[in-house]
Structure 1
Amino acid sequence: MRHTLDVDRANSGESLELETLIDALVAYHRGAASHDAEAQDAGQPLTLTMTAELAEIREALWDEGERERLDQLGDWLKQDLTRLMPILEARAARRTPSWALGHSASRLCHDGRPLLVNAIGRDLEVPGAELADDPASDLAALLVGLEGRETPELTRLALDRYLRHSGDYEISRLLSLFGTCHALTAARRALRRCLDEKLGLEQPALLAESMAECRRYLELAERIAEFRFPPLIIAVGVSGSGKSRFTRELVTGLGAIRVSSEAERQRLVQADDSSAHPQGDFAPGVVGIFSEAATMATYRRLASCAGYLLDAGVPACVDATCLTRAQRDLLRQQAEARGLPCLLVNFEADDATLRRRIEKRAGRQGVAVEESLAVLAQQQQRFEPFGDEERLHLVHLDTTAGNAGELLADLVNEHVRLSG
């Protein structure tokens, strides 16, 4: 019911908090696909926008060095569009008009202050903005808008929540392409203020401020386009070990995006709804959410989602019990096949702490404590010790320590540094 109310609020044009906005975006992108757009060329909206923005910015730049950097960025955009065209074409059924077109009066607010207009900060006046496009364009507009407001924690939380709720991890592979284009749009808007006749050369301070903002967004476009070598973090541990709690801190602190076995296993229940997992990693007709078949399908899905994130240059954190070596190997291979660093983090706590946490969680969720404790006992019995090869990537984290969150961040940073 809360999700429905959130969508209704978004439609009303009022101020939205980030979680409400993300829930509304997910619902809209899942249910509003424009099948008429399948006949449209996959890259047409992006090409129209990109061409117009590059031409206008280049004409307004006076410095030849800046023009050369812009030309390089334009070359990268064209090459990346060609590289990603098969993905855009395969996702044709998901194209939809921008969420912002129907919510132009909405605003994204945080701590009582407005951050973005039409809630996702999308410019609706650029060529191609009225055409149906991949949901990645809306999501990238929001992320660029948040990054431009210098709110990196909100940017990371937005991406993490969108992917977790939509299940569309493949979209991450398109975000650098669309994000770079939206950053160019923001740079062009700043330039237009520079060229406004009312500003003129009589207000050099405002002129300098607008040019500085333009350059800031051009630098953001370059950072988005930059090739990165992200790590894969595999969170291992039984129920109550603290995986979910501490991996949430990796989102805001390090920009890692979580892939949760709980969320993806639950998505098995919706296996007849192709929009819930558009990549088709689940075999139809899987019986029993905790059956061996369901568990195998879940870990295949976790590996696939982690692979999408790594291909996108995004640090991935898989949150799962990972009781068997085969499960851990399946995940670890996603990083090793790409030549990327991988870290296995074994989340640990003494039996009394595990029981206390599980009893507290069971009371909060209204489930039988005895059943939850029985699940813990089964997990402890089934856990397979780490092998010699796994220990090369393994660290242990005592989640009862007062500084466990800081220790985890330090362990990840140190491992990435040594692997770089």
Structure 2
Amino acid sequence: MTQSLIEALQNPALYPHPVEGFEVIETHISWVLLTGPYAYKLKKPVNFGFLDFSSREAREHFCREELRLNQRTAPDVYLEVLPVTGSLEAPQLGGDGPILDHILKMRQFPQSGLLSNVLARGELTNAHIDELAREIADLHADATHVPMEHALGSADAVMAPVLQNFEQIRPMLEDAADLAQLQHLEAWAEDTFTRLEPLLDRRKVDGFIRECHGDIHLANVTLLDDHVLLFDCIEFNEPFRLIDVISDAAFLAMDLEDRGLKALSRRFINAYLELTGDYQGLTLLPFYKAYRAMVRAKISLFRLAQEQDPAERAAILGQYRNYAALAESYSAIPSRFLAITHGVSAVGKSHVAMRLVEAFGAIRLRSDVERKRLLPAAAEAELYSAAATLATYSHLHQQAASILLAGFPVVLDATYLKQAQREAAHAVAEQSGVPFLILDCHAPQAVIATWLAERQKAGVDPSDATLAVIRAQEASREPLSEAEQSLSGRVDTDQAASLDGLVERIRRRLPGL
């Protein structure tokens, strides 16, 4: 019936807007009818277990759920649900007659804007990733919390689909090496779950299980009206959507890494954490990234049973093995270090810190951000008082210790102009058993003044420093001691070669990175 309906709907007279032509995109669960200005989505009457669109009532329900959920991030794209009335031969949109089905009306946008296609053209930028991190952070901040009495979100509920992946993959594999790797991955997942189980349960108590997107990857993000827009969330299956926010973010991080974009993945995670403050979630990140990679691995194998061509079968197995190898990479024991920046405001410390993020997977903690997170209601005089500064550095050091314990290197982006502040950070490194680095940042005063003016004009930097503040910092700074100089590396931040040299020196000094 639905196929006949799709054909009958290809009549320009049915639509209250100009129709440039009809194009039908078919997936395993829906048809999308493109008309030029608008797209109309009709769900197929199918039941795959993980989704059930077999009844008209179910299709209406999930059309309305798709509208509700996607209007959170794309209200100008997801417009309305319309009844399809009349007869198969002469359907109407929004009429008063007997209802044949329901259809979701959306604003049509060009496929060229999908970030997966933007990447294919070599046009994906840091700015796209930063904006997407903010979109996801905003979605999570506003998302409905899953109540404690709900079955989803407990540690056992989190582990169930992880184990199901292995159960479903094993019968599809024949190669001994593939089976041995799968056994290793399953054992790692079970051991990791045992270690993380208390934290997984605490995440629900703390409100981190929310109504998320569930399917964040580059093909579900587009550029529209010069902005990044997240769309096509999971509406048909609550267990895929009512999840930990860090699991939602982990999907995109994994997708970027699968595409060879490790630096962008690290940049995304840092931007997301800076916006949300959810550094506790880092402990769970490798576990969730491995789970997401194994979901993709499983899906790639589903075509194997129906494929007889040897070359196609080899390609399918190759794709599976790439995902399995990616999942296995998340079980590796990481190399860690603690680095601090040293220098006046606007000298380029944040840029230096970001290079370590992208090169080594470090987590950057910015004093300007954490100070305001710690004291959100403080007036400026209080915010920059001696007591507030002491509390900010103490907070940075506590967070750094936790992140190091979670298995990540850390770079603390702050001025560290006082020796006591540097000694306190060094103590964290020693207590954590990791190398300690001081990134000694320098730039000519004229360059600093130019950079300060540029960021003040842009109005997006969290720092409130002025030229007067910078002059006061220069006057009161305590120089690095002889012992500290042995732990430091000078960076002339206005010279790209100097920063490149620092990264290379760190690689040589810490070869496990």
Q: TM-score of the superposition, structure 1-length normalised?
A: 0.81
Q: Does the 8 Å contact 1:346/1:397 carry over to 2?
A: yes
Shift of 1:167: 1.3
Shift of 1:269: 4.0
1:415 equivalent in alignment to 2:415 = no
Hey, what does 1:234 align to over in structure 2? Answer: 340
Hey, what does 2:159 align to over in structure 1? Answer: 47
1:67 equivalent in alignment to 2:67 = no
Alignment of 1:14-25 (within 5 A): 17-25=128-136
1:148 equivalent in alignment to 2:258 = yes
Secondary structure of the structure 1 residue equivalent to 2:213: helix
Structure-2 separation of matches of 1:260 and 1:98 = 29
Secondary structure of the structure 1 residue equivalent to 2:383: coil
Q: Does the 8 Å contact 2:218/2:255 carry over to 1?
A: no
Hey, what does 1:399 align to over in structure 2? Answer: 493
Structure-2 separation of matches of 1:105 and 1:356 = 36
Structure-2 separation of matches of 1:226 and 1:103 = 24
Hey, what does 2:212 align to over in structure 1? Answer: 99
Structure-2 separation of matches of 1:351 and 1:379 = 13
Q: Does the 8 Å contact 1:306/1:316 carry over to 2?
A: yes
Shift of 1:352: 4.1
Residues 38 and 332 from structure 1, CA distance in 2 versus in 1: closer, same or farther, beyond 3 angstroms?
farther
Residues 230 and 194 from structure 1, CA distance in 2 versus in 1: closer, same or farther, beyond 3 angstroms?
same
Aligned length: 390
1:174 equivalent in alignment to 2:239 = no
- Measured against aligned partners, the alpha-carbon deviations of 1:217-247 in whole angstroms (never above 9, x if no partner) come to 1111110111111222211111132212232
1:134 equivalent in alignment to 2:240 = no
Structure-2 separation of matches of 1:64 and 1:210 = 17
Shift of 1:366: 11
Q: Does the 8 Å contact 2:416/2:422 carry over to 1?
A: yes
Q: Does the 8 Å contact 1:23/1:162 carry over to 2?
A: yes
Hey, what does 1:90 align to over in structure 2? Answer: 202
Residues 31 and 118 from structure 1, CA distance in 2 versus in 1: closer, same or farther, beyond 3 angstroms?
closer
Shift of 1:411: 2.8
The match for 2:145 among 28, 34, 50 is 34
- Give 1:206's aligned amino acid: E
Shift of 1:331: 2.2
Hey, what does 1:3 align to over in structure 2? Answer: none
Structure with greater strand share of residues: 2
- Measured against aligned partners, the alpha-carbon deviations of 1:294-344 in whole angstroms (never above 9, x if no partner) come to 112211222233233323333322110012122222223333222222211
Alignment of 1:100-249 (within 5 A): 100=213, 107-109=220-222, 128-130=239-241, 132-195=242-305, 197=306, 199=307, 201=308, 203-249=309-355
- Measured against aligned partners, the alpha-carbon deviations of 1:103-150 in whole angstroms (never above 9, x if no partner) come to 9998224899xx999678x8976x9425x3321110111111222222
Structure with greater helix share of residues: 1
- Give 2:74's aligned amino acid: R
Residues 234 and 54 from structure 1, CA distance in 2 versus in 1: closer, same or farther, beyond 3 angstroms?
same
- Give 1:349's aligned amino acid: A
Shift of 1:353: 3.7
- Give 1:378's aligned amino acid: A
Secondary structure of the structure 2 residue equivalent to 1:270: coil
Residues 296 and 33 from structure 1, CA distance in 2 versus in 1: closer, same or farther, beyond 3 angstroms?
farther
Structure-2 separation of matches of 1:239 and 1:99 = 37
Shift of 1:102: 9.5
- Measured against aligned partners, the alpha-carbon deviations of 1:193-228 in whole angstroms (never above 9, x if no partner) come to 212x2x2x2x11111111011011111111011111
Query: 5+ unaligned residues in a row in structure 1: which ranges?
Result: 1-5, 272-283
- Give 2:203's aligned amino acid: R
1:9 equivalent in alignment to 2:9 = no
Structure-1 separation of matches of 2:320 and 2:285 = 21
Structure-2 separation of matches of 1:20 and 1:354 = 26
Q: Does the 8 Å contact 1:44/1:128 carry over to 2?
A: no
Residues 407 and 70 from structure 1, CA distance in 2 versus in 1: closer, same or farther, beyond 3 angstroms?
same
Residues 316 and 75 from structure 1, CA distance in 2 versus in 1: closer, same or farther, beyond 3 angstroms?
same
Shift of 1:173: 1.0
Structure-2 separation of matches of 1:8 and 1:260 = 28
Shift of 1:7: 6.1
Hey, what does 1:383 align to over in structure 2? Answer: 477
Hey, what does 1:281 align to over in structure 2? Answer: none
Query: 5+ unaligned residues in a row in structure 2: which ranges?
Result: 1-70, 79-108, 116-127
Q: Does the 8 Å contact 1:45/1:129 carry over to 2?
A: no
Secondary structure of the structure 2 residue equivalent to 1:264: helix
Hey, what does 1:260 align to over in structure 2? Answer: 366
Residues 116 and 43 from structure 1, CA distance in 2 versus in 1: closer, same or farther, beyond 3 angstroms?
farther
Structure-2 separation of matches of 1:231 and 1:409 = 13
- Give 1:383's aligned amino acid: R
The match for 2:416 among 318, 322, 325 is 322
Among all aligned residue pairs of Structure 1 and Structure 2, give the percentage whose two residues are the same amino acid: 27
Structure-1 separation of matches of 2:460 and 2:321 = 54
1:298 equivalent in alignment to 2:409 = no
Structure-1 separation of matches of 2:291 and 2:217 = 20
RCO (CA 8 Å, sep 6+): is it higher in 1 or 2?
1
Residues 172 and 7 from structure 1, CA distance in 2 versus in 1: closer, same or farther, beyond 3 angstroms?
same
Q: CA RMSD in A?
A: 3.5
1:372 equivalent in alignment to 2:484 = no
Structure-2 separation of matches of 1:29 and 1:410 = 37
Residues 395 and 313 from structure 1, CA distance in 2 versus in 1: closer, same or farther, beyond 3 angstroms?
same
Structure-1 separation of matches of 2:298 and 2:262 = 22
Structure-2 separation of matches of 1:105 and 1:155 = 12
Shift of 1:349: 2.5
